[in-house]
């Protein structure tokens, strides 16, 4: 099954200037976020060589994130269609993408969406020899999604991107970063710890209040907490750790405000 249902097609017309700054911003965002699913090693290039559901011990089907280099299907998409796929999780024909439509990438500012597309358009084509595999969710997966047991339910419709937030080591910028990194999937809506019957149970993120800023950055970059614990593979630190210091410090400042 390639889609859940159709969705609206309106998006803001992108401004892809392709400046050095815009491309660099896009490279950071794609490298730290998109590559977590669209590569085998959480790193660039995003060739989409992996089935995300392969290691789940349940018959949920297959989910093959596409190759994001020009060798993949998105090379035939316009900038508007590509941004619609990122922010709204829909194919060019308006059908929903089962996995992307459940992500929180609608929270990207227009400036960051433009930067992502600007960077993707600079990539060299890299074949992954997979043809054009698509996502096929099993009946069990669809039922679990309907019951809210999988984070695949389409996000609320919104045709207006949120405003850009100044890129500064502030809680406001950290809140913006948290809005599209899906921390709530494992750590709970209020970051007090995951309780899902099937998803990983992330800890209460208030523990960060006992860490120093450099310790938080170190944990995100190495997967090792200040007390020596090793973060397991459920925590996407390999991707998040590719963010710049300003993003990680801002996220730290935001977590300090949790009550």
| pLDDT at 3 (0 to 100) | 37
Q: State how far the Cα of 159 lies from the Cα of 55, in Å rounded to an integer.
A: 35
The token pair that represents 63 in the structure block = 């989910």
Q: What percent of the chain is modeled with pLDDT above 70?
A: 80
d(CA 167, CA 176): 10
Evaluate whether 128 touches 38 at the Cβ level (below 8 Å): no
> How, if at all, do strands 61-62 and 136-137 pair?
antiparallel
Task: Report pLDDT for 8.
Answer: 47
Cα gap 84→11, rounded to integer Å: 6
59-118 pLDDT, tens digit each: 777 777 888 999 988 999 999 999 999 988 888 988 888 778 678 898 999 999 999 999
Which residue would you say has higher pLDDT here, 103 or 231? 231
pLDDT value for 38: 87
Residue 62: its H or E element: strand 61-62
Higher pLDDT, residue 222 or 94: 222
Tokens of 242: 């590719």
Beta partners for 141? none
List of domains in the chain: 20-146 (1.10.760), 171-255 (1.10.760)
Q: Which residue has the higher pLDDT, 145 or 37?
A: 37
Helices (H), 46-99: 79-88
Pick the closest to residue 122 from 42, 32, 45 (CA basis).
45
pLDDT score, position 58: 73
Instruction: Report yes or no: 73 and 101 within 8 Å, Cβ to Cβ.
Output: no
DSSP 103-154: SSGGGS-HHHHHHHHHHHTTPPP---S--S---EE-HHHHHHHHTT-STTSP
How far is it, in rounded angstroms, from Cα 103 to Cα 51? Answer: 17
DSSP of 227-258? TSPBP-TTS-HHHHTTS-HHHHHHHHHHHTT-
For residues 5-9, give the mean pLDDT. 45
CB 186 within 8 A of CB 200: yes
pLDDT tens figures, 189-212: 899 988 776 677 889 999 999 999
For residue 150, what are its two tokens?
A: 């999988």
Higher pLDDT, 137 or 255: 255
**pLDDT category, 1, cuts 50, 70, 90?**
very low
Average pLDDT, the chain: 84
Dihedral pair phi/psi, residue 6, rounded to 5°: -75, 160
Structure confidence by residue, pLDDT tens digits, 161-196: 889 999 999 999 999 999 999 888 789 889 998 877
Q: Show Cβ contacts of residue 129 under 8 Å, excluding neighbours closer than 6 positions.
A: none
pTM for this model (two decimals): 0.84
Q: For residue 205, which of 164, 253, 163 has the smallest C-alpha distance?
A: 253
Query: What angle, 0 to 180 degrees and rounded to 10, lies between the N-to-C axes of helices 171-180 and 245-255?
Result: 100
Distances (CA, A) of 110 to 68, 126, 249: 19, 27, 23
**pLDDT at res. 96:** 81
The residue that leads in pLDDT, 129 or 217, is: 217
Q: Is the pLDDT of residue 158 over 80?
A: no
Q: Are 75 and 92 in contact (CB under 8 A)?
A: no
């Amino acid at each position: 099954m390639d889609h859940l249902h159709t969705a609206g097609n309106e998006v803001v017309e992108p401004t892809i200037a392709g400046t050095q700054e815009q491309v660099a911003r896009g490279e950071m965002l794609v490298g730290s976020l998109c590559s977590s699913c669209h590569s085998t090693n959480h790193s660039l290039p995003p060739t989409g060589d992996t089935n995300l559901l392969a290691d789940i011990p349940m018959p949920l089907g297959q989910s093959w994130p596409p190759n994001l280099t020009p060798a993949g299907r998105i090379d035939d998409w316009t900038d508007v269609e590509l941004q619609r796929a990122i922010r709204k999780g829909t194919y060019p024909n308006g059908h929903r993408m089962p996995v992307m439509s459940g992500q929180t990438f609608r929270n990207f500012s227009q400036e960051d969406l433009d930067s992502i597309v600007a960077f993707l358009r600079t990539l060299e084509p890299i074949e992954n020899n997979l043809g054009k595999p698509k996502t096929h969710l099993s009946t069990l997966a669809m039922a679990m999604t309907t019951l809210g047991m999988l984070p695949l339910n389409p996000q609320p419709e919104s045709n207006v991107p949120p405003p850009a937030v100044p890129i500064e080591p502030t809680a406001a910028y950290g809140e913006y970063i948290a809005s599209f990194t899906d921390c709530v999937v494992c750590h709970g809506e209020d970051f007090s710890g995951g309780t899902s019957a099937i998803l990983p149970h992330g800890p209460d993120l208030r523990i960060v209040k006992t860490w120093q800023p450099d310790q938080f950055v170190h944990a995100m970059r190495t997967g090792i907490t200040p007390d020596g614990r090793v973060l397991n593979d459920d925590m996407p630190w390999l991707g998040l750790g590719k963010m710049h210091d300003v993003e990680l410090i801002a996220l730290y400042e935001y977590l300090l405000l949790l009550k």
